[in-house]
Structure 1
Amino acid sequence: MPNPQDLSALPLPAGPTLNADESDGRLTLTLAGQPLVRLRLARGEALHLHLQNPGEVPSVQALWAAAYWLFAREPERQQLFWHLEHTPDEALRSGLLLATDVAGQLRCERTLFWQLPQPWLGLPSNEAYPQQMIISTGKRHPARAPKPRGEVYRRFDIRLGAWISLRTLEIDVDLARFNRWQNSTRVANFWQESGSLEQHRDYLQKLDADPHTLTLIGCFDDEPFAYFEAYWAKEDRIAPFYDVDDYDRGIHMLVGEEHHRGPHKVASWLSALVHYLFLDDPRTQRVVAEPRADNARMIGHMQNQCFHCEKEFDFPHKRAALMILGRERFFERCGLV
């Protein structure tokens, strides 16, 4: 797998590639062949960033690109310290930069950087959908935003050297693939949803009409390899089994293509799926899952991505493990690159 330390080019979801030239403590970033920012780096216990032209007013795009490059290249680094004569208000308002007690010095935090929704989300970032409490099927919960269509998330995974993306499932496009995956012996053992094309069309149509569930296809380099269901836990059958919050999201996961199995692939798609759900609504504080309690491999993969097992409990159809990952823990401990 590629080593982040060997980076020289970093593709961005919108199309252009971020390129870097670092030598002798100087870093020059270019985007689509055009100079973006030139920096002098002072490395020690902390990393301090100085503009080569101190009087320059850097764009927010330049500040973001430098943070992305340096955080991607050094996955363990948690902070960057900028030294700027002019404070960019937009970067402060967004949380990209934080003021410090030192005049002219600002701080960039990895945990805040990865909570900025763009450019990872496929749709323009909007404010959280207005809250209105409603009752459906006897449960009181917030009204949910209309479900998106198309690609919802894209990021270049540096460790794999591949794009990881999520798009909404299209029944006419994905039905045969979904049917093949569900009828594989390995998947059927845990999902227990094997059946005909028409049975699976009915299954997916019911989910498409259900406002509490979003069906997603996971892709590596635009090749579909997995099916995910992201659901609002407050309206789900899991709600009675723990102290559910209004904006908790739950996930069901299925890797259909055998050549995309393995712990390194799980680390990529599981962190991307959770990242998307936390970005999708900033009010979401937890992502939960309920794999079969005897699915030790999946539980192990989830624990490797900072989920913890809260308890085991009994659904009517299975003994389940309640797996939980909080927003704070995810952004502080999961090393997105």
Structure 2
Amino acid sequence: MPFNAASQPHSAPRWRSLSAEEGDSWLSLSLEGRPLIRLRLEAGATLHLYPGHVCPQRPEQALWAACYWLLSRDSACQRLAWHLPEVPVQALLSGLLLATEQPGQYLCERALFWQLPQPWLGESGRVAYPQQMQFSNGKRHPRRAPKPRGEVYRRFDARLGSWVSLRTLEIEADLERFNRWQNNPRVEAFWQEGGTLAQHREYLGKLQADPHSLTLIGCFDDEPFAYFEAYWAKEDRIAPFYPAEDYDRGIHMLVGEERHRGPHKVASWLSALVHYLFLDDPRTQRVVAEPRADNARMIGYMHDQCFHCDKEFDFPHKRAALMILGRERFFDSCKLV
């Protein structure tokens, strides 16, 4: 459901409880029951923030938490103007805040805030892997980083009131679930991958050994509901059909649990999946997909998340729609909350 600032407490990324007291012109945040920051708010075309108390032990966390609270409360808010008595060196270095020509005033831009990798990536967060070009199967592409293991992304979705997270698929733990999902007639109609446990073990084993593919399980409140394949487009079968760049990522998507279907759920998990891929490597400028051209429902959901259909083209097994979402458009039109 829509986020309401009056509903307390509001969970924050990887924190047990971030709660607020708020009036018409002030905001006070507490983290796990301890005062974190108190602000005077001045409304206008840009919301201006004047800190009173800031927790001296956690000043950077306090600034981040206030930005998070105010941006996640209002998806239309594009920037915040902070008025600070001292230069926020670490916040400037990280990109959380930007200096302005006015002394003591600093901006938090929504498009920059959601590109900060932490805390969304947690312990899986890593710096960009060094670039070294190589050839495989006749294709020249960057050497890919070793695949992560475990949880790679977690965010509290304020509209749903739920955690959305991504973890890597573990064959032994997830094989039965994957088999059940693929044999669902609704899923098989589009994926055409129904089969036995043995066939699916082989299928997943090949993907696990393939450095260009990453298999993921999507969860709401830690309950698995979906299977995703993320791949590097340069080495994929899609590459001949458009000018694939070195760090473009592609996605295949499958919602297996019926109770987690619907446009409100798609808006949450699809934005989370794309968000993760753009954060995983800052050199990734586009996320692409190739759903069946007659899958109007999925294509409509992707349009809602700012993908555009570049063209239709023919794979040997299907006519596909080439869906593309650029990094700049995703973060400039960012609806994450």
TM over 0.5: yes
Match of 2:17 in 1: 17
Q: Partners of 1:11 and 1:272 in 2: how far apart?
A: 17
Identical aligned residues as a percent: 71
Provide TM-score, normalisation by structure 2: 0.97
Match of 2:262 in 1: 262
> What amino acid is aligned across from residue 290 of structure 2 in structure 1?
E
Runs of 4+ in structure 1 off by over 6 angstroms are none
Q: Within 5 Å, give how 1:89-128 maps onto structure 2.
A: 89-128=89-128
Match of 1:314 in 2: 314
Q: Partners of 1:39 and 1:15 in 2: how far apart?
A: 21
Q: Partners of 2:46 and 2:57 in 1: how far apart?
A: 23
Q: Partners of 1:15 and 1:53 in 2: how far apart?
A: 21
Match of 1:285 in 2: 285
Does structure 2 conserve the Cα–Cα contact (< 8 Å) formed by 1:5 and 1:74? Answer: no
CA displacement, residues 254-307 of structure 1 (integer Å, 9 cap, x when unaligned): 000111000000000000000000000000000000000000000000000000
Q: Within 5 Å, give how 1:298-313 maps onto structure 2.
A: 298-313=298-313
Match of 1:216 in 2: 216
Query: Aligned residue pairs: how many?
Result: 337
Q: Partners of 2:296 and 2:75 in 1: how far apart?
A: 28
Structure 2 gap segments, 5+ residues each: none
Provide TM-score, normalisation by structure 1: 0.97
Q: Partners of 1:259 and 1:124 in 2: how far apart?
A: 29
Matched, 1:179 2:186: no
> What amino acid is aligned across from residue 13 of structure 2 in structure 1?
P
Does structure 1 conserve the Cα–Cα contact (< 8 Å) formed by 2:225 and 2:260? Answer: yes
Matched, 1:323 2:323: yes
Q: Which stretch shows the higher mean deviation, 34-43 or 273-282?
A: 34-43
Matched, 1:60 2:66: no
Q: Partners of 1:230 and 1:290 in 2: how far apart?
A: 12
Offset, 1:7: 4.1
Q: Partners of 1:18 and 1:50 in 2: how far apart?
A: 20
Q: Partners of 1:124 and 1:214 in 2: how far apart?
A: 14
CA displacement, residues 98-122 of structure 1 (integer Å, 9 cap, x when unaligned): 0111111000000000000111103
Q: Within 5 Å, give how 1:74-223 maps onto structure 2.
A: 74-223=74-223
Q: Partners of 1:227 and 1:123 in 2: how far apart?
A: 22
The verdict on how the C-alpha distance between 1:286 and 1:7 changes in structure 2, with shifts beyond 3 A counting, is farther
Q: Which stretch shows the higher mean deviation, 298-307 or 40-49?
A: 40-49
Q: Partners of 2:136 and 2:69 in 1: how far apart?
A: 46
Offset, 1:195: 0.4
> What amino acid is aligned across from residue 233 of structure 1 in structure 2?
A
The verdict on how the C-alpha distance between 1:17 and 1:57 changes in structure 2, with shifts beyond 3 A counting, is closer
The alignment partner of 1:103 has SS state of coil
The alignment partner of 2:122 has SS state of coil
Q: Which stretch shows the higher mean deviation, 209-218 or 121-130?
A: 121-130
> What amino acid is aligned across from residue 23 of structure 1 in structure 2?
G
Match of 2:35 in 1: 35
The alignment partner of 2:237 has SS state of coil
Does structure 2 conserve the Cα–Cα contact (< 8 Å) formed by 1:4 and 1:74? Answer: no
Does structure 1 conserve the Cα–Cα contact (< 8 Å) formed by 2:147 and 2:211? Answer: yes
The alignment partner of 1:199 has SS state of helix
Q: Partners of 1:70 and 1:106 in 2: how far apart?
A: 16
Does structure 2 conserve the Cα–Cα contact (< 8 Å) formed by 1:306 and 1:334? Answer: no
The alignment partner of 1:87 has SS state of coil
